[in-house]
């Protein structure tokens, strides 16, 4: 009787319920009074509400698939380490990250991003819920991306990479997963606008992050 009332076999009923609840979640997301986005563990945006898209002068649909780190710049890379560790250990918690970004009009903005590591059910794929508290425009000059400091972990990763160490060996040496190492390498590549690992290492020497006369390579 219950199945007849629901109008189909149990499998279809469960799928219909899931779609209905997901649609309600999207509607709720759109009506939240603050910028919100949902990302996968690599930072790719899955969903964003209109307020989040407005901070970048675009529409929510145009943000899907883009990486959140292409828009937001953390004030310190050290603030991301707890998030990386939480993902590695599948730990659910919230982490505040101070961020800056460029508004559509060209002004520099800043705020606090709360990164919430979530999953729908045990064993389900983990996602990141981003809640942005906008604090306003930045009054002092923004830090240039090519002179941004690296964290001790990032400096160590760069030194090992400069010595020709593989990603798996770097991960074992610094206590991260291979994905965690690649995350830091990709983030530094975006920050310094270089296309590959070789160019990233060269840039690190130019910026004084690595000692120019040391072998094996060492952080400055």
CA distance linking residue 116 with residue 43, whole number of Å: 12
Identify the bridge partners of residue 101 per DSSP, sorted by sequence position.
109
Picking from 91, 99, 131, 134, the residue whose alpha carbon sits closest to that of residue 115 is: 131
Give the pLDDT score at 118. 74
pLDDT bin (cut points 50, 70, 90) of residue 142 is very low
Look at the chain and count its residues: 220
The answer to whether 50 and 28 are in contact (CB under 8 A) is no
Give the pLDDT score at 30. 72
Flag whether pLDDT at 67 surpasses 90.
Answer: no
DSSP state of 77: G
The answer to whether 76 and 148 are in contact (CB under 8 A) is no
Picking from 27, 73, 31, the residue whose alpha carbon sits closest to that of residue 51 is: 31
Q: Which residues contact 138 (CB under 8 A, 6 or more apart)?
A: 100, 107, 108, 109, 110
Identify the bridge partners of residue 38 per DSSP, sorted by sequence position.
47, 129
Q: On the CB side of 47, how many CA atoms lie within 13 Å of its CA?
A: 15
pTM: 0.52
Tokens of 56: 């970048």
Give the pLDDT score at 2. 43
Give the pLDDT score at 146. 46
Flag whether pLDDT at 66 surpasses 80.
Answer: yes
CA distance linking residue 15 with residue 103, whole number of Å: 40
Tens digits of per-residue pLDDT, 158-168? 999 999 999 99
CA distance linking residue 183 with residue 172, whole number of Å: 15
CA distance linking residue 175 with residue 141, whole number of Å: 35
């Amino acid at each position: 009787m219950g199945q007849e009332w629901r109008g189909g076999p149990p499998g279809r009923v469960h799928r219909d319920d899931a779609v209905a609840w997901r649609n309600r979640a999207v509607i709720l997301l759109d009506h939240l009074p603050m910028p919100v986005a949902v990302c996968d563990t690599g930072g790719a945006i899955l969903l964003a509400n209109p307020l989040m898209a407005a901070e970048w002068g675009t529409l929510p649909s145009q943000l899907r698939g883009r990486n959140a780190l292409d828009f937001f710049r953390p004030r310190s890379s050290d603030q991301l380490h707890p998030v990386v560790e939480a993902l590695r250990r599948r730990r659910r918690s919230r982490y505040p990250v101070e961020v800056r970004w460029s508004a559509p009009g060209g002004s520099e903005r800043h705020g606090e991003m709360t990164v919430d590591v979530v999953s729908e059910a045990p064993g389900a794929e983990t996602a990141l819920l981003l809640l942005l508290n906008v604090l306003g425009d930045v009054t002092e000059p923004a830090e240039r991306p090519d002179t941004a400091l690296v964290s001790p972990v990032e400096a160590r990763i760069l030194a090992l990479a400069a010595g020709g160490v593989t990603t798996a060996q770097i991960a074992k040496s610094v206590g991260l997963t291979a994905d965690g190492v690649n995350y830091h390498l990709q983030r530094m590549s975006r920050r310094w606008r270089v296309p590959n690992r070789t160019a990233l290492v060269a840039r690190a020497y130019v910026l004084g992050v690595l000692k120019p006369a040391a072998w094996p390579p060492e952080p400055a």
